[in-house]
Amino acid sequence: MLNVDLQKLLKGSISRYELVAATAKRARMIVDEAEKEHNVIVEKPVSIAVKELQDDEWAICPKN
């Protein structure tokens, strides 16, 4: 189970809904990339997506 500080992830003006939607979208992208390359994912895709967000490997762009 991930134990993440939500306030650190909610940078700027993004809402919790945007955070959940963007994380789910990134997790689907991770699964699609793994299937395309015929890789087996050991860790859960949502966990990977959250870690990438924490490490600033990707960012959520809020809608205007």
Residue ranges of the domains in the chain?
6-54
pLDDT class of 40 with cuts at 50, 70, 90 = very high
pTM exceeds cut of 0.95: no
DSSP string for residues in the chain: -----HHHHS-TT--HHHHHHHHHHHHHHHHHHHHHTTPPP-S-HHHHHHHHHHTTSS------
In this predicted structure, what is the pLDDT of residue 45?
95
Report which residue type is found at 13.
Answer: S
pLDDT bucket at 38, cuts 50 / 70 / 90: very high
Q: What is the mean pLDDT of residues 45-63?
A: 87
pLDDT higher than threshold 90 for residue 6: no
